[in-house]
Amino acid sequence: MSSKPILYEMDITPGSRAVKMVARVIGLNLDIVAIDLFAGEHLTEAFIKMNPQHTVPTLNDNGNIIWESSVICTYLIDKYAKNDELYPKDLYERAKCNQRLHFSDGILYQRLRNCSMCIYAGGTEVPDKDIKNIQDAYELMETFLATDSYLVGDRLTVADLCAIGLIGSTHELYAPVTANKYPKLLNWFDRMKSLPFYDEMEAPFVIKYKNVVESIRAKNSNK
């Protein structure tokens, strides 16, 4: 088995990209195995044996199997990072970081998924209530960023890296982040887009995901 952790991922999923960005920041090399969800590669007997929830990303760290992107990210930082900058050891700062991670998992991801499932299930339009749910999440993020440059204080943390792909996707597909409604969130968004690896590791795959969804929407409209 490889001495490097193996990441099973699909590049259009924000969680997969979050793990890869964390690895980049902490200087960790991963072996990448692409999994095509649309082809059902996550439903093979071998993959389900490894991860009974058959989700990506999934990490195999020399036999230790972990899934859920935020859990993978914090595990990799705790095990491999040279310092705690991305995931503070201070209990209060870590608690705030965990809260933001739970927000991304339980609010941002679920609301993005709800919108996309409308299209995956054969529809062509997303209900207004689902768009409103995303906008409500933006309002909450405005409060998180009321006095801080990042989601936890004034430095980049894992919370930002786990949120950026979700915000990028909702912005492109369903609910634009506008200066008049969400000025602090937009400033954060622009700050994240200025990261040296954003154009390589994030931006192209947000557009790739948008193209996938729009292609499905177009097929649905022709039925």
Tens digits of pLDDT across the chain (223 residues): 458 999 999 999 999 999 999 999 999 999 999 999 999 999 999 999 999 999 999 999 999 999 999 999 999 999 999 999 999 999 999 999 999 999 999 999 999 999 999 999 999 999 999 999 999 999 999 999 999 999 999 999 999 999 999 999 999 999 999 999 999 999 999 999 999 999 999 999 999 999 999 999 999 999 8
Residue 212: CA count within 13 A, CB half-sphere = 17
Buried b (16+ CB within 10 A) or exposed e, 67-79: bbbbebbbbbbee
Terminal Cα distance for the chain, rounded: 47
Q: Which CATH number characterizes residue 169's domain?
A: 1.20.1050.10
Last residue of a domain, one of 80, 106, 122: 80
d(CA 14, CA 179): 23
Q: Which position among 3, 16, 215, 221 bears the catalytic label?
A: 16
Last residue of a domain, one of 35, 55, 80: 80
Residues 127 and 200 occupy one common structural domain: yes
Give the domain extent around 160: 91-221
Instruction: Tell me whether strands 31-34 and 58-61 are parallel, antiparallel or unpaired.
Output: unpaired
Tokens of 67: 């899934």
Last residue of a domain, one of 28, 52, 80: 80
- Catalytic site includes residue 69: no
199 in helix, strand or coil? Answer: helix
Backbone angles phi, psi at 129, to 5 degrees: -65, -35
